[in-house]
């Protein structure tokens, strides 16, 4: 949790700048720069902001999200907490597909431990910063038959 501890010592703008300077990019196909996304959210006025992780892995044969959730779920929790601190979000959720019940259980266990250790909640690591987290267990997606479409 070194990253989270360091982020707690920084202002939200400084966290966003560090991410921008790092060149970190999203894991989606477009590889969009994370710093630009975070800066946009930080500058957006809202009474409530959320960090949402889409761990659906809709591309066939990809299991990177599943491997993180099952192997080291604290990496995901820490990353989402840092993102929340950076943009002013106090709540985070991960959507986990129904085909990953083990990942869902692992993430829920990790959330319990993180709360017990003060990594999540109303005083993250004893600070005055707030970040709460939960999981949403998805239903299996179904493909709809759309009929013939003109070319």
Per-residue pLDDT for the chain (151 aa), expressed as one digit of tens each?
899 999 999 999 999 999 999 999 987 778 899 999 999 999 999 999 999 988 877 666 667 788 899 999 999 999 999 999 999 999 999 988 888 899 999 999 999 999 999 999 999 999 999 999 988 777 665 656 666 655 5
State both tokens at 3: 């990253």
6: its two tokens? 């360091």
The residues, ordered by sequence, that sit 6+ positions from 79 with a Cβ below 8 Å of its Cβ are 3
The structure's pTM equals 0.86
Distance from C-alpha of 124 to C-alpha of 130, rounded to nearest angstrom: 6
């Amino acid at each position: 949790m070194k990253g989270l501890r360091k982020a707690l010592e920084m202002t939200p703008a400084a966290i966003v700048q560090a991410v921008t300077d790092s060149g970190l990019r999203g894991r989606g196909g477009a590889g969009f720069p994370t710093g630009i996304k975070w800066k946009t959210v930080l500058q957006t006025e809202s009474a409530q902001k959320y960090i949402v992780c889409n761990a659906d892995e809709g591309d066939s044969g990809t299991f990177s999200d599943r491997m993180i959730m099952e192997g080291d779920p604290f990496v995901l929790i820490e990353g989402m907490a840092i993102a929340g601190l950076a943009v002013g979000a106090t709540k985070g959720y991960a959507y986990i597909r129904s085909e990953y019940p083990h990942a869902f259980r692992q993430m829920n266990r990790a959330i319990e431990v993180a709360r017990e250790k003060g990594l999540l909640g109303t005083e993250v690591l004893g600070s005055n910063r707030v970040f709460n987290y939960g999981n949403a267990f998805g239903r299996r997606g179904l493909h709809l038959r759309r009929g013939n479409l003109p070319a």
